[in-house]
Amino acid sequence: MTEPDDIPADAPHVRLRRGSATPEELAAVIAVVSESLVHEASTAVADEPTVSAWRISARGVANDLRRDVPWGRWAG
């Protein structure tokens, strides 16, 4: 077996819960799972964000009223 210092930080980690596996069996499992993850990542598609008709037609927020400009009957 390899020493813990010889193992790269990004190496796959497999823990056997029971039984024993040969190094070839472990390598086969790691290869299959790694290929499956690569395939899944390459075919993954994020949903396009949808914008509702309400949001498209809605106006922006109005600015505050200017209190320094007199208007209407309350101009005083």
pLDDT tens digits along 11-69? 767 777 888 888 898 889 889 998 998 998 888 888 888 888 887 777 777 777 777 87
The pair phi, psi for residue 34, each rounded to 5°, is -65, -45
Longest dimension (CA), the chain: 94
Band (74; pLDDT cuts 50, 70, 90):
low
**Hey, where are the domains in the chain?**
20-44
Global pTM value: 0.44
DSSP letters, the chain, are ---GGGS-TTS-----SSS---HHHHHHHHHHHHHHHHHHHHH--PPPPP--HHHHHPPPPPPPPPTTS--GGGG-
pLDDT at 64: 77
pLDDT at 4: 63
